[in-house]
Amino acid sequence: MSCRFKVTAGKYKCISKPRVKQFEGLNKDIGDSLKDSRGLNLIIKPASEKGMAFLQNDYDDDNKDSEQWMYLPAMKKLKRIISETDDGAKTGSLFGSELSYEDIEKRHINDYNYEIIKEATYSKRPVWVMKSTPTPTQAKKTSYSYTKSWVDKERLLGLKVELYDRQGQLKKTLLQQRVEQVSGIWVAKQMLIINHANQRMSMMRTSKIALNIDIPEALLGTRVLNDASY
């Protein structure tokens, strides 16, 4: 769900008719060490966008950036998502949400410098508040100058993330909510993405989830997107 918002009594509320989309997703750890992954998201509703798909490959290797593709069924076209410049940040967003292509790329630990600002309590949970600043090389690839993360000490989840633009102004806030344990793994079943720059927000809510199931790798390749039967 995406809409324009206003803040009332500390809560974010839509002031425009929300755009609602429903999609299904698959994600599989791959490779000898299972540290690489492939993910596919496919729109089911609305009917006008049914069949639109997003595919992403993530790599553990610091020298390999995430690879992303968008399939547009109306045009029967598979589009590789790349930055407009050789070393710049990617533009555009996932299915028209406030979650950008850059936001969902895999982060490599060595691409950032980290600082624990303080220990605190957030949403009744003990957290570390951490600042992540990109290295000079990574700074060329990102539209953010730094991020702040509120990391749950016990569940090791980022409950809140603030992303600051290159001028040091707060651009987005990401909130991970409805945290539950599924098959022994802590999962946030709802994410709220607040874009302070354009006063829009998106909420992504997981209705069903299954972990540790077998997924054929054939379902997670670019070839399947061009197959009319998929």
From first to last of its 230 residues, the chain has per-residue pLDDT tens of: 999 999 998 889 999 999 999 999 999 998 888 899 999 999 999 999 998 999 999 999 999 999 999 999 888 889 999 887 766 788 899 999 999 999 999 999 999 999 999 999 999 999 999 999 999 999 999 999 999 999 999 999 999 999 999 999 999 999 999 999 999 999 999 999 999 999 999 999 999 999 999 998 888 888 877 765 55
pTM: 0.90
Instruction: Give me 17's structure tokens.
Output: 């008719």
Instruction: Give me 175's structure tokens.
Output: 């909130």
How far is it between the farthest Cα atoms of the chain?
52
CA 67 to chain centre: 14
Q: Quote the pLDDT of residue 209.
A: 95
Instruction: Give me 102's structure tokens.
Output: 């850059």
Residue in 152, 214, 160 with CA at minimum distance from that of residue 186: 152
CA 4 to chain centre: 20
